[in-house]
Structure 1
């Protein structure tokens, strides 16, 4: 239960005079009834408390104590709670386990509740729904990953754009939308990798879409169809962005409007009264980015390995960014490589600029290290969850931006960096200066702690702070003034809880305080005691009030200043976000330059041709892993799929042994294409890549038991997707198609697939196989070439050279690989024996001739029979058999060596 989204049943309340719920519990039940699909965090003083089934689920998920509070319908009410100050930590655990949380706070002053009667309950209400896709808290977010909320819009009967996806990162304001269709829906969803996918109820229960939602899993959440109503979508969008028309937003299809409206409606539903400052929806057109299907993303381990770890992924191996925004932009570019050569060239120009100007790169990266996460700080402030440190983050970020703009202004820059420089130079200097004047150097985490406004910024605040912090000194100064005025050296100003501050003189000196009209007008009698009289003054009374209220007033002033600064921040939100995006672009370009310098990457040539020529290409992840292990250096290989005397690209049929490096070679060429089109230098000596519109990779084996699919069925489904979708501008990487079924079935499928790729898809492809019979296809298919992974046999063993060469392998060396893997010697020897019989044709294709005596278990396994040695060899072997090195002295060993050498040259001696 703890690992799945939990829907607590709201306890029904029936009047029961024997166990009537308290007013507080009645309030809880009422609020819970309106939020049945969320755990209710009910604020009670310094704790959030949970009751009934919510408490049971939360205590199990969080590992906290389950207790009880009162009774309901005669039964104990389960209860658990978490401290308010530590709520973020508990929220993170619950969100990670798939729960949604409704945060219920007090919405009135307790004093107002007391006016209604001693038993009145303070009004409470849900102020926010915490869901995986609507997080803004720093503790709950990974700074290097975007946190997307995605919505799926569908309009039945539309001529075009029947489906659309909209995705938002509330923590940064990013808002994008694109059309899609059922054939690429899963790929488009996984390319964004949302934390939460919102769909209308009818869509969620559509049988045709269920397989897609089953793959995505628990992050899918059905919602009322009214959120996605395309008829009212325009009005909802206009209200949110406070515009009279959407003409300035661009043209959107009805499905896109439905998806955008659904995203906005869900944000309003979860944020209640707050409104995150979202960017205007930006449309992504189909074909503007490289299409990578879900299987390929998983096989190539772009963001995570197959085991789900970031270590070992392509992103981890290339990430040299120094800011959170830069890390997120790098991941976005990696998952959405471009298909426009001009835009790719602009990105490569930026990397080249930093690579050529090392001092500029060093200055930029050093300045960027001090840049905080400005978009997320801005978002927290806008939704009322920010603090003084978020304002401080914006101040530091703007200061760094001004510094970077300064030294960029002295350089000759390519187009992309010129745009960055201009954006940074246009940041609001007045706003930055205001933050610098207003904020102190040391800032508290929470605004309620006060102390974040710089001394000298606000005169009244300085006065209140002085009263609060230096009240004793102020009172002592006033006491000295009264001493001088009256001439009474024993005059004291004292304080007690009844009178507050008062002036005390001895009875003998009391007449001085009342004898003159001036004294009578100034000193007011308060109390007479046995040996003294007590007075006050208007000045002292006012001072007392100020001192008593100084701390409260000081905090109120600071909170007012905070709200003013937040309002000014929100007013500059678009400019601040643009500046943050410029800094992220700068970070990515400088980071990719650092990567290229460190790893020896080259600048690729990317154009509209069908070329695909890689010289000395390397696998970016494996190469770095070998370096860390101080192992043998990575063996670089060429790959040329460029057209030769034809208008279409080539196909390589790759054969070779297991463990020879085929899969690594396949993957490295796909990864080089991705890196090139995202605008990065690539691990190669040189690279010329014609734009790849779609990338398909079928490498490795996996099953899908939950959907009733065997490994072979998954292989066939993925192969079908490739053959049905690949174009002449696509790159296809296929490994061992057909190996999951009987030999002849598999061979026939692989054979037909290669023919189809050659004749129908006409794409650039590398097809790795153990079916050596397929190498004969090169005689029939003009664009197909045979290449193989080179190996060398030595003394019965095989040495993998990891080199790709022209030609075809005649065997797979599977038995040798099995021996290297540690199979028992008996199994290896029996396998070798069976292989020899099969290769010699002794069984004529019939397995029953191999099981005559089951020699593996019934008799000693046959060893390889060698021809007896004769002549020189037999004499040498006989002499060797008499030598026992462990029992020989050095002199005896030397004599034996000479004797053996003599036998080798003259066996008759």
Structure 2
């Protein structure tokens, strides 16, 4: 069999007139639908399976690890085919979306009976009912409850030589809709801060050489789209039509670029959701400068939301997350990735945490309620998109009733502003909808609405009747039989059933009088006479029979109608539902951070508009918790004060020296993380913290390469350092570790020297600069705001003990060889390293490499001396010492000196002198 990768049926040939003419009706239908969706795998519904053909089958089979088969031939070639069961489609969609595929779901859109009327070979009409892409997921099984699922659009409008970039991002699973302007210097940083699953750009921008670097960084999440989708001239009208308003004046002031990006996002949502309309909130504008700028390298180095390996475990987010709701987890991540720069807004968040810490009983009660909270925004979205089920309505009922209880619990409390606003939002709950959901939905709900059984008994009289007929036919017939028997006085009257007559009344011929009398004939209709019995029916029995026959279908139809009515009411209340959900998330984050502060002993930071940065007894939030879990030694807290020295306007710069493994990188990172936590509105791991608001945070810690883009480790280091030196302001915090270590010693020292001077004189920022170039400590004598600090160590009986504490002063050496020994390097290598270090320290350093090259043979001798059989080594050393002690170099002639050298060599090699 030829699979899709080997077939000669190219895409162009597949959709040709010749191809369509030679295809079977079913395959022609597939080809036409596929041609309209060339960038997506086509899930073509056939009975209980979604089938894929041609290239789609080959790609899906390899991606999903399922069997690739074939289905007939087309144009002389085998047709590759694979399929997935409809009931398990979500699992396969999840795998495909995770691998970057897009899927077009093609369903039957007519009754097969209608197709048969057109002829035996007619194909049931099918059409794409939905495009599934990474940024447009709504299914609960495909989404991480703790993470948003953003679709982003990026556009650039050129006017009068200006380059105006704008981004819009939507989460159709929760209704979030935001826009912002950006510029080339921060474009990638802004996108990675939001962390979208899918980024749409105009095809002209995608292929612009100036954007190549940004496109490379963003990778496979970027999808080019026709430029018409981003048309700025019609953008405002498209946004207004989507929200059903005549003008966007009430939404805020948006630039043309922002409107273009917003309209493109709406257009793509409409394209992928087809006839369905997600309940998006009105677009909100992110103001420039309102959040702390963190560039991509810093975000990665600090491991804010995931580690360098991509894991959530080990990240700062994992360490501080104590939320109990999906919405709370998402809001916490949003706050962590976008800390504020307004001290007043930060204080509002801190006030809420402090209040909850002071009210432990109320905080515990709030936690109990929040644990019962459902993810209302995502349930609302599925209902609005006609993908919801009874359990989504149940989630909304549970969420709204829980929100009502929380509002009642806080009703009489004097709350800080943030919590008070959240409580007020709960006061606007749609109470009539809550009552309707409570009265309608049963306690146990099925997964699918078509299964029925989700409406509470007693809610609808006709539904109860249909259920009784469906489930209790025998009891209903028996009840009618007893009534007829009592009314006619014929105790032996029976109601029976057969396939010919259906339900009928049967009495013996001798007892038929009451049914055949003049009065009886008005009610009982004679059907059949037997030798010993007579059979009758009534209008009531005929109606009952019809109802029994249609009871199951009618019951489902009634429930589906009730479901549609409830869904419409839910969508009509979308705004107050979203407001309530956000209020609950705010409360959850405040409560979670209060619990974290209480559990870990964090303090409330003071954040103001000064240039201060003073941390007392600061700790690394991730490392400290890891040490506690391992029951290891407690974390050593350290102070850090980068506040302006007396008489200075700008913050200080610390030059940090000390040994490897002494804790320099941890100290650098912990101060950056404390700053992030403070400005996101959290208590911080310190005894005290006073921070003048930071506008930009830069971190260059660790070493990595970027071979895919042709960058060595040193080049990556220099690129990141260049970004810091070019962008840091006097309000920035800069964390630099080991700049210049990736190249030759003197080159690296020179670069590090110049970088320190530039940070001090040009950027004038607050910063920590860790280095092994001890020569740099001399700069503190002429740079007024530069101070030397070091990681303390203690030597004890030849061993080095790392104290992990920071003190003023400079290290005299790095203890690298001791660390090498701890790492397990062979003893011979460690011994040789000590020897080389001693020679370097004692040499005139004019040509140390030449001295080492001349001395290389001694390394082999050292290797031999460390072997187990070298038992004679101590005596040889003793002999060498004796020989050397007896030599007076000033009295030796050249020939005598040469003979002494030969004797010493012989003693070193053989253990006995010669000559």
Q: Is the 8 Å Cα contact of residues 19 and 75 (structure 2) preserved in structure 1?
A: no
Give 1:569-718 correspondences, 5 Å limit: 569-644=570-645, 645-718=647-720
Report the alpha carbon displacement of residue 564 of structure 1 after superposing the two structures with TM. Answer: 0.8
Report the alpha carbon displacement of residue 8 of structure 1 after superposing the two structures with TM. Answer: 8.9
> CA separation in 1, counterparts of 2:19 and 2:269?
42
Q: Is the 8 Å Cα contact of residues 10 and 32 (structure 1) preserved in structure 2?
A: no
Q: Is the 8 Å Cα contact of residues 655 and 786 (structure 2) preserved in structure 1?
A: yes
SS in 1 for 2:234: helix
After superposition, the C-alpha distances for 1:703-738 in whole angstroms (9 at most, x for unaligned) are: 110110000000000000000000000000000000
Give 1:735-774 correspondences, 5 Å limit: 735-774=737-776
1:855 correspondence with 2:871: no
Report the alpha carbon displacement of residue 458 of structure 1 after superposing the two structures with TM. Answer: 1.4
> CA separation in 1, counterparts of 2:10 and 2:772?
55
1:466 correspondence with 2:468: yes
Q: Is the 8 Å Cα contact of residues 356 and 594 (structure 2) preserved in structure 1?
A: yes
> CA separation in 1, counterparts of 2:661 and 2:178?
43
The 1:92/1:807 distance shift into structure 2, 3 A limit, reads same
> CA separation in 1, counterparts of 2:845 and 2:829?
19
Report the alpha carbon displacement of residue 406 of structure 1 after superposing the two structures with TM. Answer: 1.4
Partner of 1:900: none
> CA separation in 2, counterparts of 1:131 and 1:17?
29
Q: Is the 8 Å Cα contact of residues 13 and 19 (structure 2) preserved in structure 1?
A: no
> CA separation in 1, counterparts of 2:199 and 2:108?
31
Give 1:211-290 correspondences, 5 Å limit: 211-290=213-292
SS in 2 for 1:461: helix
Q: Is the 8 Å Cα contact of residues 274 and 384 (structure 1) preserved in structure 2?
A: yes
SS in 2 for 1:808: coil
Report the number of matched residues: 866
Q: Is the 8 Å Cα contact of residues 619 and 668 (structure 1) preserved in structure 2?
A: yes
After superposition, the C-alpha distances for 1:471-490 in whole angstroms (9 at most, x for unaligned) are: 11111122223333444444
Report the alpha carbon displacement of residue 109 of structure 1 after superposing the two structures with TM. Answer: 2.1
Q: Which runs of 5+ in 2 are unaligned?
A: 867-872, 879-915
After superposition, the C-alpha distances for 1:802-834 in whole angstroms (9 at most, x for unaligned) are: 010000001111111000000111111111100
After superposition, the C-alpha distances for 1:4-24 in whole angstroms (9 at most, x for unaligned) are: xxx993762678899953322
Partner of 2:122: 120
Partner of 2:177: 175
SS in 1 for 2:603: coil
> CA separation in 1, counterparts of 2:16 and 2:261?
42
The 1:866/1:626 distance shift into structure 2, 3 A limit, reads farther
Partner of 1:193: 195
Q: Is the 8 Å Cα contact of residues 161 and 256 (structure 1) preserved in structure 2?
A: no
The 1:491/1:653 distance shift into structure 2, 3 A limit, reads same
Q: Which runs of 5+ in 1 are unaligned?
A: 871-909
Report the alpha carbon displacement of residue 848 of structure 1 after superposing the two structures with TM. Answer: 2.5
More deviation, 488-497/563-572: 488-497
> CA separation in 1, counterparts of 2:753 and 2:74?
71
Report the alpha carbon displacement of residue 47 of structure 1 after superposing the two structures with TM. Answer: 1.7
Q: Is the 8 Å Cα contact of residues 20 and 31 (structure 2) preserved in structure 1?
A: no
| Structure 2 residue corresponding to 1:145, chosen from 120, 144, 147 | 147
> CA separation in 2, counterparts of 1:755 and 1:368?
52
SS in 2 for 1:801: strand
The 1:536/1:63 distance shift into structure 2, 3 A limit, reads same
After superposition, the C-alpha distances for 1:455-479 in whole angstroms (9 at most, x for unaligned) are: 1111211121122122111111222
More deviation, 233-242/678-687: 233-242
TM-score, structure 2 length as denominator?
A: 0.92
> CA separation in 2, counterparts of 1:126 and 1:296?
43
After superposition, the C-alpha distances for 1:275-312 in whole angstroms (9 at most, x for unaligned) are: 10101110001100000000000000000000010000
SS in 1 for 2:704: coil
Partner of 2:37: 35
> CA separation in 1, counterparts of 2:160 and 2:49?
51
Q: Is the 8 Å Cα contact of residues 832 and 862 (structure 2) preserved in structure 1?
A: no
Report the alpha carbon displacement of residue 68 of structure 1 after superposing the two structures with TM. Answer: 2.3
After superposition, the C-alpha distances for 1:177-209 in whole angstroms (9 at most, x for unaligned) are: 110111111101000000000111111111111
The 1:328/1:72 distance shift into structure 2, 3 A limit, reads same
Partner of 1:558: 559
SS in 2 for 1:390: helix
| Structure 2 residue corresponding to 1:784, chosen from 778, 783, 786 | 786
> CA separation in 2, counterparts of 1:274 and 1:734?
51
Report the alpha carbon displacement of residue 357 of structure 1 after superposing the two structures with TM. Answer: 0.9
> CA separation in 1, counterparts of 2:113 and 2:876?
107
More deviation, 328-337/156-165: 156-165
Q: Root-mean-square deviation (CA), in Å?
A: 2.3
> CA separation in 2, counterparts of 1:238 and 1:643?
51
Give 1:504-583 correspondences, 5 Å limit: 504-506=506-508, 509=511, 513-514=515-516, 516-528=517-529, 532-583=533-584
> CA separation in 1, counterparts of 2:666 and 2:226?
47
Q: Is the 8 Å Cα contact of residues 819 and 828 (structure 1) preserved in structure 2?
A: yes
Q: Is the 8 Å Cα contact of residues 618 and 684 (structure 1) preserved in structure 2?
A: yes
Report the alpha carbon displacement of residue 392 of structure 1 after superposing the two structures with TM. Answer: 1.1
SS in 1 for 2:14: coil
The 1:589/1:18 distance shift into structure 2, 3 A limit, reads closer
> CA separation in 2, counterparts of 1:257 and 1:394?
32
More deviation, 402-411/166-175: 402-411
Report the alpha carbon displacement of residue 242 of structure 1 after superposing the two structures with TM. Answer: 0.7
More deviation, 494-503/27-36: 494-503
Q: Is the 8 Å Cα contact of residues 43 and 50 (structure 2) preserved in structure 1?
A: yes
Report the alpha carbon displacement of residue 235 of structure 1 after superposing the two structures with TM. Answer: 1.1
> CA separation in 2, counterparts of 1:418 and 1:19?
69
After superposition, the C-alpha distances for 1:561-589 in whole angstroms (9 at most, x for unaligned) are: 11111111111101100000000000000
Partner of 1:402: 404
